[in-house]
Structure 1
Amino acid sequence: MINYTKLPAVLLLEDGTVYHGKAAGKIGTTTGEICFNTGMTGYQEIFTDPSYFGQIMVTTNAHIGNYGINQEEVESGDIKIAGLVCKNFNIAYSRSQADTSIQNYFQEENIVGISDVDTRSLVRHIRDKGAMNAIISSEILDINLLKEKLAAVPSMEGLELSSKVSTKESYFYGNEHAAHRVAVLDLGVKKNILRNFDEREVYAKVFPAKTTFKEMEKWNPDGYFISNGPGDPSAMAYAVDTVKEILASEKPLFGICLGHQLLALANGIGTMKMFNGHRGLNHPVKNIIKDHCEVTSQNHGFGVIPEDVKKSDKIEITHINLNDHSIEGLRVKGKNAFSVQYHPESSPGPHDSRYLFDDFISMMNKN
C-alpha cells in the first residue's frame, strides 16, 4: 500500500480552469463530471451512493474524514464516486466507532482525490459555469497531457449507467413473513431505502436493472418500487418500457429520483440535463397537496421538463422546489402511482419526508 504523502495534485476542468492541491487517497488519475454537495455531514453515505457513479465530488464542508469511516454507514457495497475534491482531507479521526481512516479507505477502494483546494472558489465557478467534466491527477502534472485525456471523456448527457451499478442477481431483503411484498427495480438503490421498507413490514425482492416486468410479476408483488440511480434517464428506454407495463398492471408504484424521471418519461414527459443539479441535505420542498414544507436531501443532475408536465393531462404535480420551482413530485391521474425527485430515506439528513413510504404502504393496503 502506498504511504500517504503530501504529493502535488492537479484538478483540470473542461473549460480549461486549473486548480493545484495535494494528493488524497490513491496516487493516480481519474475523470468524471464534477459536481458539489452542500451537506455538512454524511461524506461516507455520499461516497457510496450509486447515483454518484461517474462523478467527481466536491464537498463544500471544510473538513472531510474527520470522523473516520464506519463500515456500517454505507449506501452500497463500495465507493461509487469517481474522485474527490476537498479543502481539508483529515486522516486523523476522533470517533471511537470508526473502523479506519479516510486515507486507508480510499487506498483500499482505489479512489483518487485532491485536497488543499479552494473549494469556495471552485463551487462558485461550477455554479456560474454549470456542470462539466474534469480530471484529477497526482501522477500526471502536465496540463497539456491532462487536456488530451479529458477530451476523451464522454458527457454525462446520453449515458446509461444504471446497469453498471445494479445488482447482477436478484436478492431478498427483510422478513419473508412481512405484510407486503415489493419488487424493487434496482437502478442504483440505496441500502437505507431497503431499510425503510423493512421497518414498515415490507419484504423486498431486488431485481437487476434490465429485468422485465413479466419476470418481476412472477413473484406476484403487491407493489413496485423504481429506485434512484446514475446517468441520463432518456437513455433508458428499457426501464421506461418496464414502468409503462407496471402502470398498465394497475399495481401500486413508487419512484424516487431516477424513478421519478422514468415515471415522467413513461407518461410522455421529457427530461433535461440541469445546469447544476441539486445535491445537499437542506433543500426546501413544498407539498402542494398537503400545503406544508419539507426539508429534503437531494442528489440529481437531471429533472423533468416543467412545461411538459403542465401540458399533460395524465400527470399531477404534488411537490415543488422552493428554491427554483422545479418539479419535485408527481402522481399519475387515475393510477396508484407517484414519485418524488428527492430522497425521503435520507441518512444522514432530515426525516421530514418518510411519510411517503407510509403513503405507499397505504396504497398497497387499499389495492
Structure 2
Amino acid sequence: MTTSTRGAVKTPAVLVLEDGRIFRGRAYGAVGATFGEAVFSTGMTGYQETLTDPSYHRQVVVMTAPHVGNTGVNDEDMESKKIWVSGYVVRDPARVPSNWRSTRSLDEELAAQGVVGISGIDTRALTRHLRERGAMRVGIFSGDAIQDDAALLARVQEAPEMTGADLSAEVATTEAYVVPAVGEKRFTVAAVDLGIKGMTPHRMAERGIEVHVLPATATVEDVYAVEPDGVFFSNGPGDPSTADHPVSVMRGVLERGTPLFGICFGNQILGRALGFGTFKLKYGHRGINQPVQDRTTGKVEVTAHNHGFAV
C-alpha cells in the first residue's frame, strides 16, 4: 500500500476488481494505492469497531450502509491501537460529523493512518457483484496512482490472495499482558491472541476473570504457566488452514482437558484440532448486526461477525 496526504473532495479515485469490473469515484481518506480482498460489511453504524478489528487485516471493506461517518471518530470505540483495513469503500460520506463524543472526522482519521479509500460509488451494485461472484482481490487508486485501466487491473491480479495467507502473527501482540478482573477475581483465563479485539478481554474482566493475553506464538507451556481455569482462542485474519502452530497448541489444551472456548478464527482452529478441514466461503459473513438463533432456547441474538472461512 502506498499513500500520500489526505485527498481533496474532488480528487478522482478508481476501484478495480480482479475480474475487471471498475467503479469510479472520489478519494476518501488518504490518496494513493492499496490492495486487498474485497468484502462487504452490513453494519448500519459502529464503523470504528470494523475499522480497528484486526480480523480485517488485508481486506478492503465495502460498507453496505449508504451514509458513513455521521458520528465521526472518538478514542473510546477503538478495538485496537490502529485501523487494520487495507482500504475503505463508502457511498455517501458525512460532510459534517455530529456526535457529542466525536473528536475528529472519519475522513481525517483514515488520512492520518494512511488508509486509502473511495467514496461516491454505487456500493449496492458492488455488493451485489461480490454476492454473485464472491470475495476477490481489489485495488483502490487515487491521485497520481491512477494509470490506464489495463495497468491497474494487472497490478490487482498480481496482489496476494487471502487463500493461503498466514496473518495472525502480523496482528497479534508480541508481548504478553494482563487485563485484571473487575471486582472480585473468580477465574483466570489464558487468551491466545490471533487478532483479538480489545473489548473481548474487557468483557471477560467485567465478569471477574483475570485475562492473560498471550502472543500467537505462545506454546502450550506458556499457556499453562499462568495456571488457567480456561483457555480462549481469539478471532483473527487469514486462512485457518495455515495456522498449524495454534492448532498444535489447541490440541495440547484438549489433551489436558482444560475448558476452552473461542470465536471466529479460534473456532476454526478448534475444528482443525479435532480433525476437520476448513474451506473458504464465497463471500463470508461480516457486520455487527448478524442475527443468530440459539436452537436450544429459540432465542435470537444480534451478533458481530467477520469470517471468510468455515469448518
**Residue equivalent to 2:69:** 65
Look up the equivalent residue of 2:266 and give its one-letter code: G
Question: Is the Cα contact below 8 Å between 1:285 and 1:296 reproduced in 2?
Answer: yes
**Residue equivalent to 2:272:** 265
**Residue equivalent to 2:109:** 105
Deviates more, 1:84-93 or 1:2-11: 2-11
Find out whether 1:286 has 2:290 as its counterpart: no
CA distance in 1, matches of 2:38, 2:264: 19
Shift of 1:2: 4.1
Question: Is the Cα contact below 8 Å between 1:140 and 1:146 reproduced in 2?
Answer: no
CA distance in 2, matches of 1:284, 1:96: 29
Matching of residues 1-367 of structure 1 within 5 Å = 2=6, 4-138=8-142, 139-142=144-147, 143-175=149-181, 178-304=185-311
CA distance in 2, matches of 1:141, 1:249: 56
Secondary structure of the 1:229 match is: coil
CA distance in 2, matches of 1:280, 1:80: 15
The gaps in structure 2 that reach 5 residues or longer are none
Shift of 1:287: 2.1
Look up the equivalent residue of 2:170 and give its one-letter code: K
CA distance in 2, matches of 1:175, 1:40: 32
Look up the equivalent residue of 2:36 and give its one-letter code: G
CA distance in 2, matches of 1:219, 1:137: 47
Secondary structure of the 2:291 match is: strand
Question: Is the Cα contact below 8 Å between 1:4 and 1:25 reproduced in 2?
Answer: no
CA distance in 2, matches of 1:42, 1:268: 36
Which structure has more relative contact order (CA 8 Å, sep 6+)? It is: 2
Question: Is the Cα contact below 8 Å between 2:216 and 2:246 reproduced in 1?
Answer: yes
Shift of 1:3: 6.0
Secondary structure of the 1:27 match is: strand
Question: Is the Cα contact below 8 Å between 1:31 and 1:56 reproduced in 2?
Answer: yes
Look up the equivalent residue of 1:152 and give its one-letter code: E
CA distance in 1, matches of 2:69, 2:216: 32
Shift of 1:266: 0.3
CA distance in 1, matches of 2:38, 2:121: 14
Q: Percent identity?
A: 42
CA distance in 2, matches of 1:67, 1:294: 25
Secondary structure of the 1:240 match is: helix
CA distance in 1, matches of 2:177, 2:171: 15
Shift of 1:183: 0.5
What's the Cα RMSD here? 1.4
Per-residue CA deviation, residues 314-336 of structure 1 (Å, 9 max, x unaligned), is xxxxxxxxxxxxxxxxxxxxxxx
Shift of 1:91: 4.1
The gaps in structure 1 that reach 5 residues or longer are 305-367
Look up the equivalent residue of 2:52 and give its one-letter code: T
Question: Is the Cα contact below 8 Å between 2:194 and 2:235 reproduced in 1?
Answer: yes
Q: How many residues end up aligned between the 2 structures?
A: 304
Question: Is the Cα contact below 8 Å between 1:31 and 1:136 reproduced in 2?
Answer: yes
CA distance in 2, matches of 1:103, 1:149: 26
Secondary structure of the 1:137 match is: strand
Shift of 1:239: 0.6
Name the TM-score, length of structure 1 as normaliser: 0.80
**Residue equivalent to 1:326:** none
CA distance in 2, matches of 1:175, 1:192: 14
CA distance in 2, matches of 1:17, 1:42: 29
CA distance in 2, matches of 1:284, 1:106: 29
Secondary structure of the 2:125 match is: helix
Question: Is the Cα contact below 8 Å between 1:59 and 1:85 reproduced in 2?
Answer: yes
